[in-house]
Amino acid sequence: MCGIFCLLSLSGSHSECEKTIKEHLRRRGPDSSRDVTVTGSDARYRCSLSAHVLHMRGHLTPQPLEDDAGNVLLWNGEVFGGFPVAAEENDTTAVSKRLSSCSSSSQILGVLSSVRGPWGFVYYQKAGDYLWFGRDFLGRRSLLWSFDVELGALTLTSVAACSSGRHWQEVPAAGVYRMDLKAAAACSSVTFEMFPWAHRGEDALSSCSEATLGCVPDGCCAVINQSGLVLPSPVCPLNKSTPLTLEITDFEQNTHFSAQDLERLLERQDEPETVKRLIDVLSEAVRRRVQCLPLREDDSVMNDHAAVAILFSGGVDSMILAALADRHVPPHQPIDLLNVAFKLQEPKKRSEPTKKAKKQQGKPAESRPFSPFDVPDRITGRAGLKELQNLNPERSWNFVEINVTQEELQKTRLERICHLVHPLDTVLDDSIGCAVWFAARGAGLIAGDDGQRPFTSAAKVILTGIGADEQLAGYSRHRVHFKTSGYEGLIQELAMELGRISSRNLGRDDRVIADHGKEARFPYLDEDVVSFLNGLAVWDKARLTLPRGVGEKLLLRLAARRLGLGPAAVLPKRAMQFGSRIAKMEDGHEKASDKCSRLLTG
Ligand SMILES: *[C@@H]1O[C@H](CO)[C@@H](O)[C@H](O)[C@H]1NC(C)=O
Ligand SMILES: *[C@@H]1O[C@H](CO)[C@@H](O)[C@H](O)[C@H]1NC(C)=O
Ligand SMILES: *[C@@H]1O[C@H](CO)[C@@H](O)[C@H](O)[C@H]1NC(C)=O
Ligand SMILES: *[C@@H]1O[C@H](CO)[C@@H](O)[C@H](O)[C@H]1NC(C)=O
């Protein structure tokens, strides 16, 4: 993960990257920083490019990366597939080489759409004076833009600052943008030519709505080139078929589902093949994300640090990631399970929260004294740890208990997190942003030989389960849609949610996690996984006639069972803001979609 930044000035004035933004960028890429400035032949425009690199694979490749022809690449991404990148090769170099050899726009679009993996990029193409930029199909990397009308200056950056007095927006992950710099300098106005992502058979105009074209900074405009060039989508479209009849089985009348019932369902499944294929495709996605990882330099001596960590609640999404990571991470290497909890208020009656916790866990917990950090995710996390230890007792599983107090939350939110969440601004963005930031920092306690000891995860790669709920109907709102408008309503909702996951979640999570010099990776959003799930009929993924804790993400639960996981397979979904109890810490009356006043600084 890198911090990339581009400041294009059309008036010839010398603006610079603000100091705070530069600090935020450097935290994303602590391993190398560099600036490059290019100017038009008649000096009408001036483009300052800078990059801060987090070294992940191959040799450290400083960026901006200039080729012999004078093209300059800023690449914040990973090539997990699409074209060969050898284990010791740096993918930035590989992408740059491919882009260098392009002589037309359609070739550049071809290179970008062939990449399998997340990316945000800026590319200065010297021949023709073009500036290209954009984000991958799902928007797994952040890119923000802002235009200063007075100065005639466009800024693109991985992360901004909320106090800069500028109006930042996320670059829509709707396609790739190209700017003709000479033309822009000549008329001092900014027009982006947009090449939208499109499925096979779709043309540019039908795949790109007016609303998307309107999503540009004030003072700029976007057009679709009449030539109709598109970026071929890297995933296949969503299967929208609905069942002719709804067959209600005796299973669907059973209201108390156990892991054993799931087992029986697995045996009876018409298509056990689908479960196996899901495991295969997901396992491969995890493999691609945990291989060829460098250990931190200071580890070479000790060499007992994990290279991979998982945001871990003990729920089915994170349990599956852990079980699959276990297949691909070298056996002697630990895996860090990051479990975040926000401090609970001491209850008036001592037994209250434990009772609730017992119920949520679905089985009686051993009686422990009240701990203010025993939030629901901590309890399921511990249970999940036990399951993983049973699954592979040889593996060293570092269950990192990350306890956060209200004082620390408030201080850190103002100092750091508000800048990272920006320009998103709701109560939900605040809750998730803060919870993910503390979890990703990985500083907490692990069990030692005699009691707990302080521990900080050094893993550079953090796997998260995001995307599972959006694709396999895991949220309770999916039940609402299903109840009110059946499979059609459900499919519409799922299509909409995958379409907006970049602007709702991914840019924010990327900014928040990268702040620790770590990289978020999303196996459920691997192109092959998305394609596989998109191809299935919706009732193969979720069966919302079945009870909660089973029907949502049914296919994933069956996969968990087949992987040998027990009770974790039938835990109902608990959103992170509730599971970690961060939502409890703040004003209980606000709605998740309200603007969050706590994110505003001075
Ligand atoms: C990786 O990047 C470095 C620095 O840019 C370069 O010297 C080296 O040749 C690259 N290695 C490969 C295998 O592409
Ligand atoms: C459309 O693309 C073609 C080829 O890249 C280019 O020559 C033309 O100027 C573009 N049209 C507009 C309106 O930008
Ligand atoms: C953190 O919370 C756990 C309970 O989930 C507790 O065992 C541990 O002692 C707490 N640590 C600190 C430093 O509060
Ligand atoms: C959609 O799902 C149905 C039912 O499983 C299947 O018959 C059909 O081939 C699928 N369509 C596509 C385009 O994959």
Report the residue among 31, 83, 90 best suited for mutation to probe ligand 1: largest number of ligand atoms under 8 A from its CB.
90
Q: pTM of the entire structure?
A: 0.90
Nearest to 146 by CA among 136, 135, 162, 157: 157
Atom of ligand 1 nearest to the CA of 89: 13
Q: Is residue 545 part of a domain?
A: yes
DSSP 581: -
223 and 113 share a domain?
yes
Sheet with 153-157: strands ordered across: 32-39, 46-53, 3-9, 153-157, 144-148, 169-170
Ligand 1 atom 14, closest CA: 89
Work out whether strand 144-148 and strand 190-198 pair parallel, antiparallel, or are unpaired.
unpaired
d(CA 517, ligand 1 centre) in Å: 22
DSSP state for residue 296 in the 8-state scheme? P
The neighbour count for residue 248, using CB atoms within 10 Å, is 9
Which residues have a Cβ under 8 Å from the Cβ of 523 and sit 6 or more positions away? 282, 285, 286, 289, 321, 324, 463, 529
**Is residue 602 a contact partner of residue 503, using CB atoms and an 8 Å limit?**
no
What is the domain extent for residue 101?
2-232
Residues in the ligand 2 pocket, defined by CB under 6 Å: 105, 193, 225, 227
- Closest ligand to Cα 236: 4
The confidence score (pLDDT) of residue 446 equals 94
Residues 225 and 271 in one domain: no
68 and 152 within one domain: yes
What are the residues facing 32 on neighbouring strands? 53
DSSP letter for 506, please: I
| Residues 398 and 547 reside in one and the same domain | yes
Distance 227 CA to ligand 2 centre (A): 7
Residues of the chain with pLDDT under 50: 299-301, 351-352, 354-365, 602
Domain membership of residue 568 (yes or no) is yes
Residue of 374, 403, 446 best suited for mutating to test ligand 3, as the one with most atoms within 8 Å of CB: 403
Q: Catalytic residue among 2, 6, 102, 434, which?
A: 2
Residue 61 Cβ inside 6 Å of ligand 1? The answer reads: yes
Q: Does residue 410 sit in the same domain as residue 528?
A: yes
Token representation of residue 232: 């071929």
**One domain, residues 541 and 434:** yes
| 241 belongs to a structural domain | no
Instruction: Check if the beta carbon of residue 213 is closer than 8 Å to that of residue 191.
Output: no
In a domain, 198, yes or no: yes
The domain that holds 206 is classified in CATH as 3.60.20.10
Specify the pLDDT at position 247.
Answer: 57
Residues 186 and 323 in one domain: no
The finding on whether 90 has its CB within 6 A of some atom of ligand 1 is: yes
Residue 251 belongs to some domain of the structure? no
Which tens digits make up the pLDDT trace of 383-403? 999 999 999 999 999 999 999
Residue 445: give its domain's CATH number.
3.40.50.620
Q: Please provide residue 72's backbone torsions phi and psi, each rounded to the nearest 5 degrees.
A: -130, 130
Clarify whether residues 226 and 269 are in a common domain.
Answer: no
What is the count of structural domains for the chain? Answer: 2
Distance, in Å, from the CA atom of 393 to the CA atom of 389, rounded to the nearest integer, reads 5
Place of tokens 């990339």: 4
Helix axes 272-290, 527-535, angle to 10 degrees: 170
Pocket of ligand 4, candidates 241, 244, 534: which has the most ligand atoms within 8 Å of its Cβ, to mutate? 241
Say which residues have a Cβ less than 8 Å from residue 86's Cβ, sequence separation at least 6. none
In a domain, 514, yes or no: yes
202 and 317 assigned to the same domain: no
| Residue 204 belongs to a domain | yes
- My answer on whether 123 and 79 are in the same domain is yes
Whether 292 is catalytic is no
| DSSP track, 501-524 | HIIIIIHHHHHHHHTTT-EEE-GG
Do 212 and 326 have their domain in common? no
Q: Same domain, yes or no, for 568 and 482?
A: yes
* Residue 249 placed within a domain: no
